[in-house]
Structure 1
Amino acid sequence: MGKHTKQDSNEIYQERASQARTVRKIVLICLSVIFAIILIGLIGGYTYLSNALKPVDAEGEGNDIEVTIPVNTSTTGIATILEEEGLIRNASLFRYYTRYKNESGFQAGTYTLNTEMDTDQLIEQLKDGRVIAEAASTITIPEGLTLNTVTERLAEFTGTSQEEVFEYIDNQDYVTGLIEEYEMLTDEILNEDIHHPLEGYLFPASYQFEDEQPSIEAVIKDMLNQTERVYQNNKTLVENSEYSFHELMTMGSIIEREARESFDRFEIAGVLHNRLNEGMMLQVDPTVAYAQGEHIYMTSYADLDIDSPYNTYRYTGLPPGPIATVREQSFVAAADPNDTEYIYFYARYNGDIIYNEDYDQHLEARNTYRHEWEEAAQSEDTE
């Protein structure tokens, strides 16, 4: 075996030192490049955000734009309205900005805003509530109501009768005109099995009017406009779905009647999609109640005998049309459901939902908690 000399050891040391210096240089260069990229990104992001928050027409003369914010409109809804009216550049950024600044308390009403106003000025005016005119009347339509209940409220609000409201909204010529006017409406609503063409299309929200007793036409118009806005805001979801907007609204109305919590809306939507994909009957109680034309606390075997295309215990697929008013989230859930393996769910009286993949376990859950609905029905009968 040969022996290492001092000269050999020194050469090895020098070589290793040189390699170490090279590695340090490479690491330093990489870190410098990464830092530069981050710095450029931060500067670019800050510049983009700063510009996005500036007035849309900072160097122009500015235009006054009349904007109406309905009662109970979410920050997301307000952002969408402002973007559509050309007052902000990006609705998502407006939403994140208000969340970052913890802004809230936006007031409903009709405002005159200007394109020279920056984001902070718009926020302040919407919080201040300086509107063009105070509302003389307000009507609130909750989610999950059938058109029969909605028309009762509309009749009282407009000073007419329920029969007059139905005569107006069910008129064939009127409905045909609406199909030509609104992109969301198609000939699907003319299906002869549908009880009322506009069932589910009158958006649930609060609406303000300058007249103490507005016309049926004015109220219906505002409600349809709101649903059209939901359609336009989620048009990509509709285009990417295998179902039409009408079918998604139908599914959304079922979800609306079954779920109370946000998570459950998307999970139930996943179950419904699974059952439809498997060619199974949906077997959801709210459709039976709609077919019966009355509120049913607990579906009986006798209720299931009704021969109606809305009876999802008797017919496969979706019913002909929506069965109730639909909030935007329920519609979105129908279009973009959770990816789940569940094909059964049971809704308890307290609102909890029990999901199962196995039918026997589903029956066990139903048998365990069915008494809650029976007790609720008995309590209602004694009142």
Structure 2
Amino acid sequence: MDKGSKKDVMFEKMIEKKKEVKIVRRIVFVIVLIILIASLLGGRAIYKYISESLQPVDPKSEEIIEIEIPIGSGLTSISKVLEDKGIIKDARIFKYYAKFNNQSQFQAGSYGLTKAMTLDELIESLKTGKVYRTPVFTMTVPEGLTLDQIAKVVEKRIGIKEKEFLDYVNSEQTIEAMMIKYPKILSEEILNEDVKYPLEGYLFPATYPFFEEKPTVETVVTTMLDATSSNLTPYFSYLENNNKSVHWLLTFASLLEREATAKTDRETIASVFYNRLKIDMALQTDPTVLYALGEHKDRVLFSDLEIEDPYNTYVNTGLPPGPIANAGRSSIEAVIDPSTTDYLYFLADYEGNNHFAKTYDEHLNNRNKYRPN
């Protein structure tokens, strides 16, 4: 091939590359536009599909899925492999997400991936060519736990003493360092004097793999904050457009998490709280009273409802000063996309089914009918 031919081929490749970049930009623009239109017009199906496609397929999954990336594989074929193996939900969205973040040069090799990995984690693994290492152990942190409860899980699973963990997450040095490291999720709001524990609600519920026998407390905490950052990234634009903060989102979501049962309609409960907030009506949610008391009770007494504490939503209107537990994705989604109702009241019967009411009289009827004792 002569020099002229080589130049022609290079020139054609440059043109194709530019065309591809233009197409990607247009597609990203269309996706962003669809999200905006969906949020404005209430297109829940489209909005949820895109949002869910940006999240891990199964945050709790511990199954290792082995894949092979042949030499010369492009982003399109890699995305297809990941989708076929069930590691991502949509190959196209993964492809455009990677392109939008200028990540397309991935390395060939054998990988052991999980459905719990975020898109950023998948990209990092494929970009660095890091072959999967079997974790020494995993630690599962369920939804709805407080820092105290997470500390117990850490001690039982990892061996870090509960006191050491709590001392670390509540120390001024830790909070200052983490605020610098995670400025998008940790704001000055966590330093409010009424907030009991700055990192309460910020350690994301998930199953975490660890690749060393004795990770430090710093490793554990930063691993969990990394997960929080990754899982909240899709909601940053919503928060900015609605002049809301991550602290507001996690606080609201934590209430739904603690009110939830297996049969709970979180979106409808979220609508009740929104409706009350609009008219400056106290939220009156029992979990905030229990958090203020600092203890678990099967039944909240009337005397408990009178406790003078910033977290008591029977005494104070609005949201409490901060989260009362760690919220999962379903509760966060319910805050972002609640049902549209006129309900102001709800109660759960003895089987965990919720019953909603628009007026106090209807609520009393539900109480007499479903919780007579």
Which TM-score bucket, shorter chain as reference?
Answer: 0.5 to 0.7
Residue 195 to residue 240, structure 1, CA distance change in 2 (3 Å): same
8 Å contact from structure 1 (residues 203, 224) kept in 2 = yes
Q: CA deviation at 1:220?
A: 0.8
Q: CA deviation at 1:297?
A: 1.8
2:60 is matched with which residue?
A: 72
1:313 is matched with which residue?
A: 314
8 Å contact from structure 1 (residues 70, 208) kept in 2 = no
Indicate whether 1:271 and 2:272 are aligned: yes
In structure 2, distance between residues paired with 1:356 and 1:168: 44
TM-score, normalization by structure 1: 0.65
1:138 is matched with which residue?
A: 138
In the alignment, structure 1 segments of 5+ residues that lack a partner are: 1-47, 53-67, 79-86, 107-112, 375-383
In structure 2, distance between residues paired with 1:305 and 1:318: 17
Counterparts of 1:200-215 in structure 2, within 5 Å, are: 200-215=201-216
Q: Secondary structure at the match of 1:234?
A: helix
**How many pairs does the alignment contain?**
283
1:216 is matched with which residue?
A: 217
8 Å contact from structure 2 (residues 190, 322) kept in 1 = yes
Residue 301 to residue 295, structure 1, CA distance change in 2 (3 Å): same
Counterparts of 1:340-359 in structure 2, within 5 Å, are: 340-359=341-360
In structure 2, distance between residues paired with 1:236 and 1:73: 28
1:181 is matched with which residue?
A: 181
1:198 is matched with which residue?
A: 199
1:151 is matched with which residue?
A: 151
In the alignment, structure 2 segments of 5+ residues that lack a partner are: 1-22, 28-55, 66-73, 89-103, 116-129
| Match of residue 115, structure 1, among 106, 121, 141 | 106
1:296 is matched with which residue?
A: 297
TM-score, normalization by structure 2: 0.67
Counterparts of 1:320-339 in structure 2, within 5 Å, are: 320-339=321-340
Counterparts of 1:33-182 in structure 2, within 5 Å, are: 72=60, 98=83, 104=86, 115=106, 132-182=132-182
In structure 1, distance between residues paired with 2:367 and 2:57: 44
1:285 is matched with which residue?
A: 286
Residue 70 to residue 292, structure 1, CA distance change in 2 (3 Å): same
1:370 is matched with which residue?
A: 371
Q: What one-letter code is carried by the residue in structure 1 that aligns with 2:148?
A: N
Identity %: 38
Q: CA deviation at 1:335?
A: 2.4
Q: Kindly provide the CA deviation profile for residues 208-232 of structure 1, in whole angstroms up to 9, marking residues without a partner as x.
A: 1112232111111111001111221
In structure 2, distance between residues paired with 1:275 and 1:204: 28
Q: Secondary structure at the match of 2:356?
A: strand
Residue 366 to residue 325, structure 1, CA distance change in 2 (3 Å): same
In structure 2, distance between residues paired with 1:206 and 1:125: 14
Q: Kindly provide the CA deviation profile for residues 112-135 of structure 1, in whole angstroms up to 9, marking residues without a partner as x.
A: x97267xxx99x9769xx952111
Greater Cα offset, 206-215 or 313-322: 206-215
In structure 2, distance between residues paired with 1:71 and 1:266: 21
8 Å contact from structure 1 (residues 253, 323) kept in 2 = yes
